[in-house]
Amino acid sequence: MNRNPHVAVVGATGAVGIEMIKTLEKRNFPVGKLTLLASARSVGKKLKYKGQDIAIQELTKDSFPGIDIALFSAGGSISKEFAPIAAKAGCVVVDNSSFFRMDNSVPLVVPEINAADVKHHKGIIANPNCTTAITLMALYPLHQAFGVKRIFASSYQAVSGTGAKAIEELERQVGQVVAGKPVTKEVYPHQIAFNVLPHVDSFLPSGYTKEEMKMENEGRKIMHHAAFRASVTCVRVPVYRAHSVAVSAEFEKPVSVEAARAVLSKAPGIDLVDSPEKAEYPLPLYVAEKYNCQVGRIRMDCALDNGLCFWVAGDQLLKGAALNAVQIAEELMK
């Protein structure tokens, strides 16, 4: 890999694309040259990187010769079409869509958990689902210590997970409700302001949604734990930016709150915020724009054997997306 790689961001104008550019800058990634790619309608727009204005170029099949690393966040259909073209041109793709995640030839990586998988790539590396990544930041260190068998979880997912238009929709609807005007909806099937929707992604014949099954399927692959089981309800909440997850986990070995805290206080990429008597616990409002996830409300689960309950929150656009992608790029540089 070039010591100062030519980096492209595909989907540069989207909510995650913008965070990718900011994250490359903030973490001083050794970018030799930055190319910003998006659809034809964004061409000519400019985005700032290190004080420079960089013009958006149109994504085409000829965009990739000379590019070393491409961070993709433009949706599954774009990844399906263009990631193989980029890989063929000699570029390493870090893909934020779900399209390649369960492909056996594509590593699915959270660097704090399975960084070593990066080196098995064949030109494409997948970024995990945001809720899965945030949950595993707390679950994996506990798994290493106690051996997780299964979890039951409910997610509280921010509208930023749907994209920039959903952020605008929540903003607009709050204004409409406060002003006593009729509420208009475009992105979600129901009003999201002052409401919660137990509906993230599309429904499967089982009654679970695709998003809900990602926790089990992607969790097994990332943790190298084929027997891991996860029953999840994913819920969209009227929060702008960070996801939270309530988890009940059952382990092979006996657990205690003290032992769990000791493990989590040393785990990379996660901060222990757990002083309920002072009303201190992870909150999406306070974890927004932070690189580390937060875990708290740690207690023995009274309905499971060797069970622990905890609450984890993380910035969906950062650890859930852009930060994790840039961390994978950093692994490629090692």
pLDDT score at 2: 87
pLDDT tens-digit profile of 54-95? 999 999 999 999 999 999 999 999 999 999 999 999 999 999
Q: Is the pLDDT of residue 247 over 90?
A: yes
Indicate the burial class of 104 (C-beta count within 10 angstroms; 0-12, 13-18, 19 or more).
exposed
Whole-angstrom distance, CA of residue 217 vs CA of residue 286: 29
Enter the tokens of residue 217. 């399927």
What is the C-alpha radius of gyration for the chain, rounded to an integer number of angstroms? 20
Q: Is the pLDDT of residue 271 over 90?
A: yes
CB 117 within 8 A of CB 107: yes
Domain edges within the chain:
6-128+321-333, 132-316
Percent of the chain topping pLDDT 90: 99
* Average pLDDT for 267-295: 98
Q: Is the pLDDT of residue 191 over 90?
A: yes
Topology of domain 6-128+321-333 in CATH is Rossmann fold (3.40.50)
97, 152, 164 from 102: Cα distances, Å: 11, 22, 26
* Average pLDDT for 136-164: 97
φ and ψ of 188, to 5 deg: -105, 155
Question: Dihedral, CA atoms, 42, 44, 92, 62, nearest 10 degrees?
Answer: 100
Residue 236 confidence class, pLDDT cut points 50, 70, 90: very high
Q: Is the pLDDT of residue 33 over 90?
A: yes
Q: pTM for the complete prediction?
A: 0.97
pLDDT score at 175: 98
Mean pLDDT, the chain, whole residue set: 97
Q: Which CATH class is domain 132-316?
A: alpha beta
Whole-angstrom distance, CA of residue 42 vs CA of residue 304: 52
pLDDT score at 1: 84
Helices (H), the chain: 15-26, 76-88, 111-114, 130-146, 164-178, 210-223, 257-266, 284-287, 323-333
- The residues near 10 (Cβ < 8 Å, ≥ 6 apart) are 17, 37, 38, 59, 70, 71, 72, 73, 74, 78, 82
List residues with catalytic annotation: 130, 243
Whole-angstrom distance, CA of residue 13 vs CA of residue 10: 9
pLDDT tens-digit profile of 293-309? 999 999 999 999 999 99
